[in-house]
Structure formats: structure tokens, C-alpha cells
Chain A
Amino acid sequence: GAVVSQHPSRVICKSGTSVKIECRSLDFQATTMFWYRQFPKQSLMLMATSNEGSKATYEQGVEKDKFLINHASLTLSTLTVTSAHPEDSSFYICSAVSGTGHEAFFGQGTRLTVV
């Protein structure tokens, strides 16, 4: 199946700094990528939909100035958590939709810890 690579897998940062997470589709072009956040023992909550070459669409309650999303190419989307705070600590997962649009492939996830 298609492969989506997410990097880094773990990151620890100091409060107030910014962290960038990359999501790459390795063997297919993804016009649409999605970013999810998962709190411990909870389900995945969609944060935003990232479309190549256009602005991301954010879900209600997600601060777009805090979670910057860039989808500059058909194989790469980035999520930048700006001015991170301990409450931003979470597991972030990206997914990319294949050409048929009915199956999404997920990255391995990034565990962010803000200290």
C-alpha cells in the first residue's frame, strides 16, 4: 500500500518555541492531507484539511494562527505549532488521501511534549 512518512516521531520542546512536523507521501501524490490530534486514550480529532497550493481549512475551535499548515507540494504538508505551551502536548497524526479519494493513509504520528 501507499506510504506516508511523518517526521519527527517524537519531539520535546520548551514552552514558547515553535515546532514543525512534516508529512510526506512517499509513493503517490496527495492533493489533500489531513492533520489530526489525539489526546491520551481518546479518539482522533480532525484539526484541519490541507490542500496543495491553497490555504488550509480549519475545524471549529482550532486556532489557525497557532497551528500553521503549509501544503507546498503534492507530496509534502507541514504543521507548525507556534509558541507551544504544555497544553499543546499531544499525539499529532497526518493522513494523505490517495488518487481515488476513498482511502487515507496515515503517518506514524508525532508525539509532542512541551516542557
Chain B
Amino acid sequence: GDSVTQMEGPVTLSEEAFLTINCTYTATGYPSLFWYVQYPGEGLQLLLKATKADDKGSNKGFEATYRKETTSFHLEKGSVQVSDSAVYFCALSGSSASKIIFGSGTRLSIRP
């Protein structure tokens, strides 16, 4: 079945460092890919998405490119801030109105 594998955390970086969180997927067909962020004590917020190969999703300085050839959707940010500390989930959605499959989540902590 469909699955998402993402980099295990926790990841601790200094402010202004470069961030990469790896995510790869297994799916039949052409899924949509997402990154969700969960701040402490809150629900999930959609961070960015891409619906077809070579699409780049971007938001709040974060980017991820849908790479069909490597079945990857790695999350990157050039300069992280303390406020980026959260748990990040990579996810995929298959056909219309299908369920979302989540990766295990990566906890990110940014030191001032």
C-alpha cells in the first residue's frame, strides 16, 4: 500500500542554518504530496503542497519539489528561525477524496 518515509528526528539546528528534512514515498499512480506543520499543542496546518511531478510547493520560506524519478519530496529552508520549531509531517493523498497517509513526523528544534 501507499506509504511515506521521512527523516527521523529530532533535528536541532542553530538559527539561520539551512534545513533539509528528507521524505520519500511509495504510491500507485500519481499522488499529491504535502508537508504539514504542527506547532506545540496545536493541530495540523498545511505548509505546502505539490500535485504533479516537478511542481514546487513553497510557503514561509520553505520549499519542496515533487520528484517522481526519485519518489521524493524533501523539505528545505535556507535560513531557519526559532519560530520554525515544530513537528513536520510529510504526507500523500492518492485519488480524489482519498485518505491522507502521513510520515512519522520530524521534530525540529531551533536554537537562538
Q: Which residues of A contact B (CB under 8 A)?
A: 1, 6, 31-32, 34, 41-44, 46, 49, 93, 95, 97, 100-109
Partner of B96, one of A93, A101, A108: A101
Query: A104-B100, A107-B43, A109-B43 known; 7 other A-B pairs, CB under 8 Å?
Result: A42-B105, A44-B89, A97-B97, A102-B93, A103-B49, A108-B43, A109-B44
- What distance in Å separates the Cβ of A47 from its nearest Cβ neighbour in chain B? 10
| Chain B 87-112 per-residue mask, 1 if CB under 8 angstroms from chain A, else 0 | 00100010111111111110100000
Residues of B within 8 A of A31 (CB): 97
Are B99 and A43 in contact, CB atoms less than 8 angstroms apart?
Answer: no
Q: Known contacts A32-B97, A101-B97: does B104 contact A43 (CB below 8 Å)?
A: yes
